[in-house]
Amino acid sequence: MSGEGAAITADTNQHYDLDPDIFGQFLDPLRKYSSALYESDSDTLESAQRNKLRFVARRLGLGGGEQLLDIGCGWGSLILFMAQEYGCHTLGVSPAPRQHEYIAEQATVRGVAQLVHTRVGHFEELDLPTGSVDAVTMLGSIVHMPDLDEVFRRARAVLRRGGRLYVSESCFRNAAARKAFDERAGTEFVRSDIFGWGELRPLSELVTAAEDAGFSIVAVDDLTDQYRRTIEDWIANVDAATDRIDAHQPGLAAKLQHYLEVANAGWGYTTKHYALTCRKAR
């Protein structure tokens, strides 16, 4: 890895290596850290996150027992859910060691330790068998990957013929919005104070990289309004748990709230949130 790549690896870990209890204060009980899917006005954050995971399963065409790879697995919500609900054999990849410890504990508690495995590292650097999985997921992780062509190429290589890739990501609304807002203060705050390195792209760049890698595009879903409501729920939870969050690190609740408010401010105007489903047709 180059010096720049090594810096990206270190910087991107800073947010996800916070104490797991912090995330438990404002996320749903599964600790899913990406957009939910609200099917009614009465849906809670927890029920909406379960709706979203079932939506992902439908997009992937899961019937039960498949081999699934989750890139950027976070706190394990997807791999734990797919193991419990669909009997999938799952592998999660993340560079944050604390997430792996938490996932292993949860897999044991939920009785799916034999179905849930993880590896510490970056997908681009791992040696994974060709044609070994039925489905690949990337929920909010591709923003941290500098080489789109390599990511899509490797995702296609690890899939069996007919396998599907699900990518959901926040994107600049178009190339002009990217040029205008990429270096604004809010964008830089998220990069430097929250996640480290990250790059939002227009949806067109994701589609081009997927097609150039040999994927067929199955579906594109606009989840922008869903993510807006998700973040509103997270903000409310941060506000309610300010004292408990600040007990870990003084001022952290205000930093989290500012980040979430910055993320919510641009929906529709500068940014969108899309789900892209691709198939390895041949």
Catalogue all structural domains in the chain, each as residue range(s) with its CATH number: 3-279 (3.40.50.150)
Residue 239 pLDDT > 70, yes or no? yes
CA 58/CA 60 separation, integer angstroms: 5
Residue scoring higher pLDDT (251 or 20): 251
Backbone angles phi, psi at 39, to 5 degrees: -100, -10
The SS3 of residue 6 is helix
Query: pLDDT tens-digit profile of 79-137?
Result: 999 999 999 999 999 988 888 999 999 999 999 999 999 999 999 889 999 999 999 99
Query: pLDDT tens-digit profile of 41-53?
Result: 999 999 999 999 9
DSSP letter string, 31-52: ---S-----STT--HHHHHHHH
The pLDDT of residue 204: 95
44 contacts 229 by C-beta, under 8 angstroms:
no
The pLDDT of residue 69: 98
DSSP character at residue 144: G
The pLDDT of residue 182: 65
First-to-last alpha carbon distance for the chain, in angstroms, is 31
pLDDT exceeding 70 applies to what percent of the chain?
88
Residue scoring higher pLDDT (58 or 193): 58
153 contacts 123 by C-beta, under 8 angstroms:
no
Residue 196 pLDDT > 70, yes or no? no
Mean pLDDT, the chain, as a whole number? 88
The SS3 of residue 164 is strand
177 contacts 271 by C-beta, under 8 angstroms:
yes
Residue scoring higher pLDDT (189 or 218): 218
Dihedral-angle region of residue 188 (phi above 0 means left; psi in -120 to 50 means alpha; beta otherwise): alpha
When pLDDT is averaged across residues 188-210 and rounded to a whole number, the result is: 72
The pLDDT of residue 137: 98
The pLDDT of residue 59: 98
The pLDDT of residue 185: 58
